[in-house]
A and B are shown apart, each in its own frame.
Chain A
Amino acid sequence: MRRKIGQIQWLRYLIFVCGFLLFWEWLRPLDQISDTGNLPIFVVFTAICFLLSALKLRWWVSFLLKFVLMLIVLQVFLIQENLISGSWFTFILTELQNNLQFLFTGDFVSLTPFFRTLLFLTLLWLMSYLLYYWFIVANRIFFFIIMTFLYIGILDTFTPYDGSGAIVRVFLISFFAMGISTFARLYQGREKRKFPKQVLLWSIPLLSILAVSAAVGYAAPKLPPQWADPVPFIQTMSDNNNENEGEGGIQKVGYGENDSRLGGPFVQDNSIAFWAATEASGYWRVDSKDVYTGKGWERSRDAEPQSFQSGDQVGIDLYTENVATEAREAIVYPSQNQVLDRLVYPYGVQTFFSGQVGAAVDSDFGVVETFNRAQYPDENYTIAFEEPQYNIDDLRNDSELDDDNTHYRYTQLPEYLPERVRELADEITSSADTRYDKAKAVEQYFNQNGFQYQTQDIPVPEDDQDYVDQFLFESKIGYCDNFSSAMVVLLRAADIPARWVKGFTAGQPGSNPSVSTPDGMSSYLVTNGNAHSWVEVYFPETGWVPFEPTQGFANPAEFTSEEDEAPETPEAETETPEEEQSPAPEQPEEQQQEEEQVADSQTDSNSVHPLYWIIPSAVLLIAALALYVTRYKWLTAYYIRKYRNERSEETYEKAYHYLLRLLAHKGFKRHSGQTLREYAITIDREFGNKQMSELTSEYERILYRNEKSAPAWINAVELWENLIKQAAS
């Protein structure tokens, strides 16, 4: 008998291992969808927690071990102070104090990494306990399996995480676990000596079915998705959806380094970003980045916005005084549904005029952040700008003598950039003499060499692949990010300073339904689909000149030439709306919003963060659910303690009725027409003793004979406790 229990337990532990593997699948995506680093350490921590749970140590021993383990992990990660020294304790104390304060004010972004790690470790700990309960004690694994599938599915759908490998692994593990669990259930109550044979008889078909179904599933043709990608779809469908809030659940994705991983497909999103009335249409600039990582774009330093007043010179100097300009004005009406926390501006921006909205600018990157946009969602702003006209001759005759700083900063490339990219850059630019011609040559290169504008099936570079290299030599398909990044990298490889710029295209001409267009201006509707990225090339005597490598887009900047009076490049008006519609990418925009969202929550702590409500209520909900699901566990413990020493007249009755409830919960329900005596007999038959009948006959005397129950309870309490424990186990 003993050995048989051991064998069953052995199977349970096998299932528990499967549980750990499944939980591992929960951890795997974290480094992609959040800024969690050092995942292996967390996995090891989880594994040890699982092991400790399985070892069935005394609760305080395992608690102590886990606690120490947690401190070690924290020490390894974060705490500067030595684990043994006293300052360590003070450190934790202050950390806890500060963070609890943040927690209660809803200021979740300010939580320190230490506290976050602490919370995360606690969560892992709790999960190890929960899974131990589910897998070994309750033997209910299906729920967790379903949850794992849902989790992977949701992550795969809504985040950049690619769950196709995970889903196969989860399938294999969970199928196996369920097979073993079924076997364990069937095997209970069989003869022990047949165990090895039974295992063999069971596991061989199980494994072969597993292998066959996995192989069939893997090889079978799969339909493409039947529905559009739900994220933009949901955003477009919900009218009053505040986009930033709507993304609350996943906005942490790529926090702070949103362009650091480019690639992958996207789906058109036509929700309105803003309306603009302008005297001269052109691209709306939002941001620029200077460091190419091989996977995407980052900043060489964090943006350091300086605040400025309405009407001040913002100081974003993109060109020198040599450039001919024309004074213009534009008004931007941001969409109320989408609080953009950046101000968009055209080339040549001088000043912003806005009544309420405070802003700060990092003129180097050209980022204009706002503090309190969320409070004035319908506040428009006016921009005075000097529209530049670049003279091609001047560009051609440029001295090309960059100052060292600029040159160094904007010609940096990753160390591991494949050599063939440099070779290609040389090949393209060798025939051109001037920087302008070289830039033009690169810009034109994409038009001729089999590159295609496409938004679907865009690969994400593998770990050992370079984003630009992949685009230039392998996929040759992509959207603006691919084209613009490739151009910047090629220019830099040819030793020409260039940078990557984000913003919106001019948009679609239309009439703003809410505001009439001022005289001399025309209105444009700019949607999220108009989000775009392009290239700026540095000319020492002219400044930063925009180039447009993306197929199907035309550079809206004005270029003049003395030889040729007509602008060399057509203006925005020639751009057909269809053209602009179809290739307009959404992904940069989405990322931009995320970035701004984070920026907002960091700078503007007065506004109520949506997480303020979501997290506590979710925590409460989960806690309530957990309490409800486990109610008979803790209620039983509670009642045993309570009634053990209680001697009141009602105790017997209450205790007896709790026992009835517990038994009903465990599947032995008394139907209403059944007498207690009959019921007690069925229960006794189930438990193989006479305790319930004894307890019941005493209770009958109390109930139907009106006897005093307190004395009877003293005698019955032990009986009751036995029964309760028997029923609860």
Chain B
Amino acid sequence: MTKLSTYHPSVSRIIDNINKVIIGKEEPIVLSLTALLAGGHVLLEDVPGVGKTMLVRSLARSVDCDFKRIQFTPDLLPSDVTGVSIYNPKTLEFEFRPGPILGNIVLADEINRTSPKTQSALLEAMEEKNITVEGNALPLADPFFVMATQNPVDYEGTYSLPEAQLDRFLLKLRMGYPNAQEEMQMLDAVGMKHPINRVEPVMTKADLLKMQEAAANVYVAPQIQQYIVDLAQISRSHPDVYLGLSPRGSIAMMRAAKAYAYIHNRDYCLPDDVQVLAPFVLGHRILIRSEARYDGLTPERLVHRLLGAVDVPVERESVHER
């Protein structure tokens, strides 16, 4: 991450702000921001207690968005997510009480604990950007950013997300433990009062929307598009791959690369952006053959191999017709 570390000033402010709460962890922060600016969602897979919630909350506070949290449990119903109409005896009318999904930044905690029915309610909302409640289509808030977490350790009583659903997350991240020094700092910081309460917004919601727009306008050279396509193609024909990168994956790759370039204060994409993001964009979208998996092939290693196999475009002429 250090090699591209000139950030866009606004992004820099956000990162500094979040760093008040989350010590270290620059990579997950930058990647979460990438997903936020690209208009995508993040799946965080990690053990409990590494700061997933803190990350999302501080992010929400920084950009002045409202933060909602859904704790997924096996008995959670779709309406617990979307909201429910309740009869108001005073007005003699059904009144809609919006569910947590109508917030800007939603933490969907332990998404794999709930039933597929409830999961799909959330995922559909993520994709469609609106929900249908009792026949009425309700638009979701803008910006809308879901950060779902899932716990990799106990699979007891979980409903793992199907591949089609995983595809809807732009990035899949891990938080990882802080190192000893960071953990010491963290204990220090928590001592008196939890730092989350000290986090103040550094920009308005409108600023965030502008940033999203700017990120979408980042220039992607034809060579880079070609590079992404080459990557997708090779992932589909690789012998160890059961299911390669979908076209939606290619689009996600490009969107993420744009946002990533924007974060690094560039208005054009580099192959480096693609390379850095590839493990997070591709990792959960590619299914490895079980034989290869038993041989110890992890998605990260596979992506690394794919990157090694695709020529980085270094000339204008290399934009070849296919």
Interface residues of A (CB under 8 A from B): 653, 657, 660, 670-678, 681, 700-701, 703-706
A653 touches B272 (CB 8 A): no
What's the nearest-Cβ distance from chain A to residue B269, in Å?
6
> Is B296 on the interface with A (CB-CB < 8 A)?
no
Q: What's the Cα separation between A673 and B312 when bound, in Å?
A: 5
A675 touches B275 (CB 8 A): yes
A673 touches B310 (CB 8 A): yes
Please, which residues of chain B bring their CB within 8 A of the CB of A700?
268, 270
CB nearest neighbor in B for A707: B268
CB nearest neighbor in B for A650: B316
A704-B221, A705-B221 in contact; A675/B312 too (CB < 8 A)? Answer: yes
Q: What's the Cα separation between A653 and B316 when bound, in Å?
A: 8
> Is B86 on the interface with A (CB-CB < 8 A)?
no
A703 touches B272 (CB 8 A): no
Q: What's the Cα separation between A653 and B313 when bound, in Å?
A: 13
Excluding A681-B3, A703-B315, 17 further A-B contacts by CB distance (< 8 Å) are A657-B315, A673-B310, A673-B311, A675-B272, A675-B275, A676-B312, A677-B3, A677-B272, A678-B3, A678-B272, A700-B268, A703-B223, A703-B313, A703-B316, A704-B219, A704-B224, A706-B268
> Is B142 on the interface with A (CB-CB < 8 A)?
no
What's the nearest-Cβ distance from chain B to residue A700, in Å?
6
What's the nearest-Cβ distance from chain A to residue B233, in Å?
15
Q: What's the Cα separation between A308 and B270 when bound, in Å?
A: 88
28 contacts between A and B (CB under 8 A): A653-B316, A670-B314, A672-B312, A673-B309, A675-B270, A675-B271, A675-B275, A675-B312, A676-B312, A676-B314, A677-B3, A681-B3, A701-B268, A703-B221, A703-B223, A703-B314, A703-B315, A704-B219, A704-B221, A704-B223, A704-B224, A704-B268, A704-B269, A704-B270, A705-B267, A705-B268, A706-B219, A706-B221
Please, which residues of chain B bring their CB within 8 A of the CB of A657?
314-315
Please, which residues of chain B bring their CB within 8 A of the CB of A660?
314
CB nearest neighbor in B for A701: B268
> Is B111 on the interface with A (CB-CB < 8 A)?
no
Q: What's the Cα separation between A701 and B267 when bound, in Å?
A: 10
Q: What's the Cα separation between A704 and B271 when bound, in Å?
A: 9
Q: What's the Cα separation between A675 and B307 when bound, in Å?
A: 10
What's the nearest-Cβ distance from chain A to residue B90, in Å?
61
Please, which residues of chain B bring their CB within 8 A of the CB of A675?
270-272, 275, 312
What's the nearest-Cβ distance from chain B to residue A423, in Å?
90
A674 touches B312 (CB 8 A): yes
Q: What's the Cα separation between A653 and B223 when bound, in Å?
A: 15
Q: What's the Cα separation between A671 and B271 when bound, in Å?
A: 14
B314 touches A673 (CB 8 A): no
A673 touches B308 (CB 8 A): yes
Please, which residues of chain B bring their CB within 8 A of the CB of A678?
3, 272
CB nearest neighbor in A for B275: A675
A703-B315, A704-B221 in contact; A673/B3 too (CB < 8 A)? Answer: no
CB nearest neighbor in A for B266: A705
Please, which residues of chain A bring their CB within 8 A of the CB of B272?
675, 677-678
Q: What's the Cα separation between A700 and B221 when bound, in Å?
A: 11
Given A653, A671, A672, A677, which contacts B270 in the complex, CB threshold below 8 Å?
A677
Question: For residues 232 through 271 of chain B, which have their beta carbon under 8 Å from a beta carbon of chain A?
Answer: 267-271
What's the nearest-Cβ distance from chain B to residue A707, in Å?
9
Please, which residues of chain A bring their CB within 8 A of the CB of B268?
700-701, 704-706
What's the nearest-Cβ distance from chain B to residue A462, in Å?
68
Please, which residues of chain A bring their CB within 8 A of the CB of B223?
703-704
Q: What's the Cα separation between A704 and B315 when bound, in Å?
A: 9
Please, which residues of chain A bring their CB within 8 A of the CB of B221?
703-706
Please, which residues of chain B bring their CB within 8 A of the CB of A671?
308
What's the nearest-Cβ distance from chain B to residue A528, in Å?
63
Please, which residues of chain A bring their CB within 8 A of the CB of B308?
671, 673
Q: What's the Cα separation between A657 and B314 when bound, in Å?
A: 9
